[in-house]
Structure 1
Amino acid sequence: MDAELDKVQHLPGWGKPATGLFSGYVTVNKTAGRALFYVFAEAEEASESLPLVLWLNGGPGCSSLAGGFLSELGPYYPTNEPGRLQRNDYAWTQAANVIFLESPAFVGWSYSNTSSDADVGDERTAADAYVFLEQFFERFPAFVGRDFWISGESYGGHYVPNLAYEIVRRQRGAPDSKRLINLQGFLVGNAWTDATLDNSGAIDFWWSHALISDDTRAGALRTCNFSNIGPLRGEYSRVDPEACAKFVTRATNEMGAINIYEIYADVCRDWRADADGRQLLRALAGPEAALLRQGQYDACIDNEVQAYFNRQDVQAALHANRSEHALPYGPWLGCSTIVNYSQHDLFSSMLPVYRELLAVEPPLSMLVFSGDVDGIVPVLGTRRWIRALGLPITRPWRPWTSSTGQVGGYVEQYRGLTFATVRNAGHMVPYTQAERSYYLFSRWLKAVHSEERTDVI
Structure 2
Amino acid sequence: EDSYIFLVNWFKRFPQFKSHDFYIAGESYAGHYVPQLAERIFDNNKIVPKSDYINFKGFMIGNALMDDETDQTGMVDYAWDHAVISDGVYSNIKIKCNFSTPNTTNGCTEAMQAYFDVYKIIDMYSLYAPTCNSNSSTSNNRQRPMIQGIAPQIFSKFDRWHMRPAGYDPCLSDYTEVYLNRPDVQQALHANVTNISYPWTHCSDIINTWGDAPSSMLPTLKKLIAGGIRIWVFSGDTDGRIPVTATRLTLNKLGQKIIEDWTPWYTNHKQVGGWTIEYEGLMFVTIRGAGHQVPTFKPSQALQLVRHFLANKKLPPTPF
TM-score by length of 1: 0.61
Matched residue, 2:245: 380
Given that 2:59 and 2:230 are in contact with CA atoms closer than 8 Å, whether structure 1 keeps it comes out as yes
1:290-439 aligned at under 5 Å gives the runs: 290-293=165-168, 298-317=169-188, 319-321=189-191, 325-339=193-207, 341-345=209-213, 348-360=215-227, 363-439=228-304
Q: Which amino acid aligns with 1:330?
A: Y
Question: Deviation of residue 303 (structure 1)?
Answer: 1.5
How has the CA–CA distance of structure 1 residues 267 and 313 changed in structure 2, closer, same or farther, with 3 Å as cutoff?
Answer: same
Q: Which amino acid aligns with 2:257?
A: P
Given that 2:266 and 2:273 are in contact with CA atoms closer than 8 Å, whether structure 1 keeps it comes out as yes
Q: 1:149 aligns with which of 23, 39, 55?
A: 23
1:243-322 aligned at under 5 Å gives the runs: 243-254=107-118, 256-272=120-136, 274=138, 283=155, 288-293=163-168, 298-317=169-188, 319-321=189-191
Give, in whole Å, the separation in 1 of the partners of 2:205 and 2:17.
Answer: 34
Q: Which amino acid aligns with 2:63?
A: N
Given that 2:133 and 2:139 are in contact with CA atoms closer than 8 Å, whether structure 1 keeps it comes out as no
Matched residue, 2:75: 202
Question: Deviation of residue 332 (structure 1)?
Answer: 3.2
Matched residue, 1:140: 14
TM-score by length of 2: 0.86
Give, in whole Å, the separation in 1 of the partners of 2:110 and 2:161.
Answer: 26
Deviations 1:97-144 (Å, cap 9, x if unpaired)? xxxxxxxxxxxxxxxxxxxxxxxxxxxxxx111111122222222222
Give, in whole Å, the separation in 2 of the partners of 1:280 and 1:354.
Answer: 36
How has the CA–CA distance of structure 1 residues 358 and 129 changed in structure 2, closer, same or farther, with 3 Å as cutoff?
Answer: same
Given that 1:276 and 1:333 are in contact with CA atoms closer than 8 Å, whether structure 2 keeps it comes out as no
- Provide the secondary structure at the position in 1 that maps to 2:274: strand
Identity of aligned residues (%): 36
How has the CA–CA distance of structure 1 residues 213 and 340 changed in structure 2, closer, same or farther, with 3 Å as cutoff?
Answer: closer
How has the CA–CA distance of structure 1 residues 314 and 403 changed in structure 2, closer, same or farther, with 3 Å as cutoff?
Answer: farther
Name structure 2 gaps, 5 residues minimum. Answer: 147-154
Give, in whole Å, the separation in 1 of the partners of 2:140 and 2:117.
Answer: 24
Matched residue, 2:40: 166
Question: Deviation of residue 397 (structure 1)?
Answer: 1.3
Given that 1:151 and 1:188 are in contact with CA atoms closer than 8 Å, whether structure 2 keeps it comes out as yes
Deviations 1:284-319 (Å, cap 9, x if unpaired)? 7898333343xxxx22111212223333444454x4
Q: Which amino acid aligns with 1:290?
A: P
Given that 1:148 and 1:182 are in contact with CA atoms closer than 8 Å, whether structure 2 keeps it comes out as yes
Deviations 1:159-195 (Å, cap 9, x if unpaired)? 11011001111112457x5453111111101111111
C-alpha RMSD of the superposition: 2.7
**Structure with greater strand share of residues:** 1
How has the CA–CA distance of structure 1 residues 194 and 305 changed in structure 2, closer, same or farther, with 3 Å as cutoff?
Answer: same
Give, in whole Å, the separation in 2 of the partners of 1:431 and 1:286.
Answer: 19
Given that 1:160 and 1:186 are in contact with CA atoms closer than 8 Å, whether structure 2 keeps it comes out as yes
- Provide the secondary structure at the position in 2 that maps to 1:343: coil
Name structure 1 gaps, 5 residues minimum. Answer: 1-126, 230-235
How has the CA–CA distance of structure 1 residues 269 and 187 changed in structure 2, closer, same or farther, with 3 Å as cutoff?
Answer: same
Question: Deviation of residue 340 (structure 1)?
Answer: 5.2
Give, in whole Å, the separation in 2 of the partners of 1:433 and 1:189.
Answer: 13
Given that 1:194 and 1:350 are in contact with CA atoms closer than 8 Å, whether structure 2 keeps it comes out as yes
Give, in whole Å, the separation in 1 of the partners of 2:161 and 2:109.
Answer: 24
Given that 2:132 and 2:139 are in contact with CA atoms closer than 8 Å, whether structure 1 keeps it comes out as no
